Structure 1
Amino acid sequence: MSGAEESALGESTSVGSAVPDLGGATARAVYRDLLRFGPRSRRDLGERLGLSAPTVTRATRELLEAGHLRPLDTVSPARGRPQQPLDVEVEHGPRFVGAKVTADAVHAVVTTVHGEPIEDLVVPLEGTTPEAVADGVAAPVRELLGRHERVAGVGASIGGVVGERRRVDSSWILGWEEPVPLADLLEQRLDLPVAVDNDIAAMVHGLNWGGIGRAHRTFAVLTIGVGVAIATVVEGRLLEGRSHLAGLTGRLPVGTTADGEPLLFWQAARTAAVVERAREHGVLGAGEGIDRLRELVVRDREPGALAEAEELARLLARAASAVVAVVDPEAVVLGGETMDLVRAAGGVFEDTLRAALPAAQRDLVLRELGEDFDQWARGAAVIAIQEYVGGEW
């Protein structure tokens, strides 16, 4: 065993008395690999991680003794010695709580270490000041903590610019223009490690760790609703960019304004813009909003309203085609509160998208997120899991 390996095994970071510590960097690397990529033998772990056999043996022994891993049945390969795969202990393993914050509610969920939901909870948000949001997140989290043991960490996701998974630098949804140390505020209330991230980044981390990321190493996510966002995962890693804003600002051109200026994705596809266009075209009255448009499109199939839905579908397709042109993903995932309007437009989105792609990319896989916020809350839990296991994501 090298000196570096020995030192790594000796490092330790406490996560609270209720959950046994994972140990040093080597043990964390072993645990992280099994968590992300599934069961494997000690020999396979050593080859994948570049560790000596004694180092892997020692790390896995410590993890087994602490209850973090469990042995599976021995496998006898066609050649070579029988191997006993190891896997992460899920049933008796740590739990994590994720909380997705919107302008008027907190969607919370408790999950396994794989990010699988166990119980969820939705509570109204009474205010949008930093203290009110911290209290609003802490309330459902405390309720879940009272019903679930072995919680090792909490993740919170919020629409805004987030720095170092600790502070929210700004959030237009909540009206925050100055940095807010949200992780600190929550840790004071919960006495648990807390990680904070942008909501779509957290959601995409969740997809990458336990959802579509298991089938596709490179994929893009586009969401439309009150805000819009684009995120891409390339070879298993979320692209964040120098300012951690890659795609999150929605500044991709999707057309031209009446003045000849570029029409940006966020300007054209967010809910407020959809409603404004519908009012300008006489589809909606002055006091009517997105719910009324939804009735006209989905229930009544009113021609003018359907035209608005078709335009939204085309705007989304233009944004998606631009992402595909740059990233060449295996799949595109769509989501957001106004996806029902896109679905109501029939095949407009898919036809527009595939027509804009070269033949080699037209077999692109299209997926859609669920309509509720469960996926977003699970993503918030996943960022807590990532902080718990450490390392690169």
Structure 2
Amino acid sequence: MINRSLYLDRIRPFFNQELVKVITGIRRCGKSVMLELIQRELKKSGVDAESMLTYNFESLTLSHLCTAEALHKDVLEKAKAITGRVYLFFDEVQEVTHWEKAINSFRVDLDCDIYITGSNSKLLSGELATYLAGRYVEFVMYPLSFREFCEAMHEKQPDRTVADCFQQYMQFGGMPYLGNLQYQAEPVKQYLQDLYNAIELKDIVRRKKIRDVDLLERILAYVTANIGNTFSATSISKYLKNEGRKVAPDTILNYLHAGQEAFLFYPVKRQDIAGKKILSVQEKYYLADHGIREAVIGGNMQDINLMLENIVFLELLRRGYEVTVGKYGEKEVDFIAKRQSEKIYIQVSYILATPETVEREFGVYRNIRDNYPKYVLSLDEFNMSRDGIIHQNIRNFLLEGTE
């Protein structure tokens, strides 16, 4: 079991606090394991295992508890046998009808510490916020970082170099279960395809009651193929029209939002650096896991620049940055990352192989006169920093952070 210390360090200060701990993220990114890690930590601190009640609502054995009333009755009955504080763990709680009413009631009826997970962001934007406004704290989980991936791979294949691990990471992505498949190409591909289908059917089609599954599949495929490229609902509408499907942009926006709610991909807004305003058109999208793209449509190595962007973008989210794409005139900065008073600019490139590439990646900063750190990340082994712009190897950035 990989010790997801990045998340544990963030959650630990909220142990035994009345705030409901909400752990969200794409299906199978490790949320269930995180509940186990939390339980292990609580036991080390002296909490009795008998005080913990755990419910995983993906199990059919709990199907009779998938209403708020049934769950509430079961928890209160079991809590009678517990002396002192009750620790409640609800995995994939969105499977329970009106679950938010039950969670809110537990806070009133019991001395309890509550942890819940879910694979849909509407847990917070809708249902949960209605009942628990100001009484919960969210932790978004992502697939394994490159650092975590190296740790997992070295458990299975200790002789692997960092470069070997990164090659595998680019191909397979960071879903935690892949270590159980020994990172074998065909089993990994099958697993990720099945994961993609499960997200589509369980987290999007069923939850949103989508009838036109073919249209949804086309839109998801378009986004998956075009990660890192700017496009809009209107441009997708025109593309589908050429494919023989006439679809209104509003319908496409609804389907895009459904994909976002399932944590399949993340939109990134564009920011006018000179005007210091967020642009309302032409967002970019990045996938929650680039390995899914390779499994579903292939072509990661042909689009390696975009894959590297996707990897860096997810790493910035893991580190708690808010990320936008920067626009300055006709030029574009891949990422502007902000965290409290901190701000950094990042350009991502595969290899700085020609003078033209060097000029493109470094030159974009020429007219940005502020004093915030500016980075160019690539897979080059030699440090090519210049003019106050920091060049860093992408692997080192992922393992060590910014210099």
Point out the structure with the larger helix share.
2
Tell me if both proteins adopt one fold, taking TM over 0.5 as the criterion: no
Higher relative contact order (Cα pairs below 8 Å, separated by 6+ residues): 1
Structure-1-length-normalised TM-score: 0.30
